Amino acid sequence: MLRLAILILALAMPAKAEEVVAALSQNQISITTNFDGSEILIFGAVNREEAIPDTPLDIIVTVAGPSQAVTVRRKDRRFGIWVNTDSVEVDEAPSFYAVQTSAPFGDAVKDVEDLRHRISVPKAIRLVGAPMAVADAAEFTRALIRIRKDQGLYQVNESAVDVSDSTLFQTRVALPANLVEGQYNTRIFLARQGEIVSLYETAIDVRKVGLERILYALAHERPLIYGLLSLAIAIFAGWGASAAFRVLQR
CA atoms within 13 A on the CB side of 60: 29
Task: List pLDDT tens digits, range 124-179.
Answer: 998 766 555 566 677 888 889 999 999 999 999 999 999 998 899 999 999 998 88
Residues 178, 151: Cα–Cα separation, whole Å: 9
Task: List pLDDT tens digits, range 61-102.
Answer: 999 999 988 888 776 666 666 655 667 778 889 999 999 999
State residue 208 phi and psi, 5-degree precision.
-80, 145
Read off the pTM.
0.75
Pair 125, 144: CB distance under 8 Å: yes
- What DSSP letter does each residue of 121-156 carry, written as one string? HHHHSB-----TT-S-HHHHHHHHHHHHHHTTSEEE
Tell me how far CA of residue 79 lies from CA of 82, 83, 112, 187, in angstroms: 8, 9, 46, 49
Alpha carbon of residue 226 to chain centroid: 29
Q: Which residues pair with 202 in a beta bridge?
A: 186
H or E stretch including 103?
Answer: none
